[in-house]
Chains A and B, each alone.
Chain A
Amino acid sequence: MKRLALDELNLEAQPGAFAGTLMNSSRDLVARVCQGDQEAFRLIFDRYSRPVIGFIYDMVGDRDLAEELTQETFVRAYRGIRGMNAETKLSTWLFGIARNVARESLRARVRANRHVDLEDKSVLDLSDNEPVPVERLLSKELNDLIRRSLATLDEDKRVVFTLKVFHHCSYEEIADITGFSLAKLKSDLHRARAEMRRRIKPYAGVGYEV
């Protein structure tokens, strides 16, 4: 069926097939960037810019700032790619840089006393709301609720929760990205889930049968 159709189109099996498209594994791309291939870095950017900007946005809660920090992340990645450990996954390495960039920005904001999002009173009041069936909750409202609830988590919990729940990283990858011990990240993840549950619970109550 579909698999047969795929096999017919498998370029690897075709004589004279162009090898270029087969050389795009992340490891190959990194090797090419190290040789000065700007196009390879463009491919890395195309592949990873979306998850990276999403992760940074989850961390800082600001669209414009997320774009700016994503740019900074990729510039740092380009400059440091030769020092990248060959055993490290490219995605883990990029998330590590993104996390550092986001953390520096958050700390700068705290110093500047502009961490308004983290003290958004409307988020804190959510748990007192009357239950609303999730079916009636527009996806935009749910997105908004999750975003604001994320902002109430402290930084360590937020990074662990985001990497696990939204980016589906393994515990090992999260430990590599954050430098946390396994015990700490498990504890943070559990607490983050509990806090998020408390925020979301009013919306998941009535009418949301499993």
Chain B
Amino acid sequence: MKCEGCLELLEEYLDGELAEREASEIAAHLITCAACSAERATLAVEQEMFSRYDRELEVPALLWEQVAEQTVSPLSKPVSQNGFSALVASWFRVPSFGFSLATAAALIVIALVIGMAYMRTQKPEPNKVLAETPRPITVTSPEPKQVPKGDQAEPGNRDFVASNGSSARKQRPIRHSTIDQSDVLSADTGYQDLDDQDTAKHIEQTQNLLRSIRNVEVNDNDQEIDVSYDKAVSRRLLNENIVLRRDAEMKAKFPTKALLSDLEPFLIDIANLPDQAKPDDVRAIKERVQKTEIVAALIGY
């Protein structure tokens, strides 16, 4: 494939709209062509900027009440009975226990939920590291970084996560795992699969780490560079990476597995640096991050 053809289809390729054959041709071309690869990276940066777009828009609580006011008339109206027929019907009416049964069922349900929540709080959380809120990485970089919002995930789709607190987010996946929400929009779909959520968070954190390394200023005059924080972060991410990579492999998520496999050498190298690293060692990793364009690959995830 020539560059012209590649550039023409590049947006559709990034949108995931190309047929398999065309997509594989583009992918093959991107590996060999630096110019087209740079264009892809530019588009990925744009996408990242748009993914940060926050309208700061809330759905007012009153809005539902206003909608409800105009939609109170039920679509299926009950058939009314009048006069003598209603009187006769009332003589033979069987007492209804519907309401009391519904109330009893609701109470049982509430008790079950509370019981399960209680039991869950009694169990240790083996994977607590993966569920942690990502800590901002502030290492020796020349400029402060803007950490992209985790929501925009959404793989893009990250615009419409409920903003009413993290507790709501934590509870959601439990329900979504059993509910068909194939047509739920945007970020909601990002929470259908906890593994994907963890992977996205992991990749975001790794991306921040690699950017920090890439932006480290290495001067020949420096005797040592303090990378102790980067190193600690890398060790934690390395452990996560191994778990997530194996998980992706078991679930046949091969693109994810390949990406995580590519990450591992970087994480190992950073984790193995001494706290006070030699400039040449840091420079070697930094140059490898730049040459391999691993950050662009992570942005595209």
Interface residues of A (CB under 8 A from B): 1-3, 5-6, 8-12, 16-18, 20-22, 24-27, 33-36, 38, 41-42, 45-51, 53-54, 57-58, 63, 66-67, 70-71, 74-75, 78-79, 81-82, 89-92, 133-135, 139, 142-143, 146-147, 164-168, 170-171, 186, 189-190, 193, 196-197, 200, 203-204, 207-210
Taking the closest CB of chain B, its distance from the CB of A131, in whole angstroms, is 14
Per the 8 Å Cβ criterion, residues 154-187 of B in contact with A are 154, 156-157, 159-160, 162, 173-175, 177-186
| Cβ contacts under 8 Å, B299 to chain A | 210
Q: Is A6 a contact of B174 with CB atoms below 8 Å? A: yes
Given A2-B198, A25-B180, A168-B154: A38 and B45 interface contact (C-beta under 8 Å): no
B109's partner among A10, A20, A33 (CB-CB below 8 A) is A20
23 contacts between A and B (CB under 8 A): A2-B130, A5-B127, A6-B174, A18-B108, A27-B180, A38-B71, A41-B71, A50-B59, A71-B70, A78-B71, A78-B75, A79-B71, A90-B183, A91-B184, A91-B185, A143-B52, A146-B49, A164-B15, A166-B53, A189-B11, A197-B46, A209-B215, A210-B299
Using CB atoms, name the residue of chain A closest to B67. Answer: A74
A33's partner among B68, B75, B116 (CB-CB below 8 A) is B75
Q: Is B63 a contact of A70 with CB atoms below 8 Å? A: yes
Using CB atoms, name the residue of chain B closest to A33. Answer: B75
Per the 8 Å Cβ criterion, residues 129-146 of B in contact with A are 130-131, 143-146
Q: Is A71 a contact of B63 with CB atoms below 8 Å? A: yes
| Cβ contacts under 8 Å, A57 to chain B | 55, 57
Interface residues of B (CB under 8 A from A): 11-12, 15-17, 38, 41-42, 44-47, 49-50, 52-57, 59-60, 63-64, 66-68, 70-72, 74-77, 105, 108-109, 112, 116, 120, 123, 125-127, 130-131, 143-146, 154, 156-157, 159-160, 162, 173-175, 177-186, 188, 194-195, 198, 214-215, 243, 293, 295-296, 299
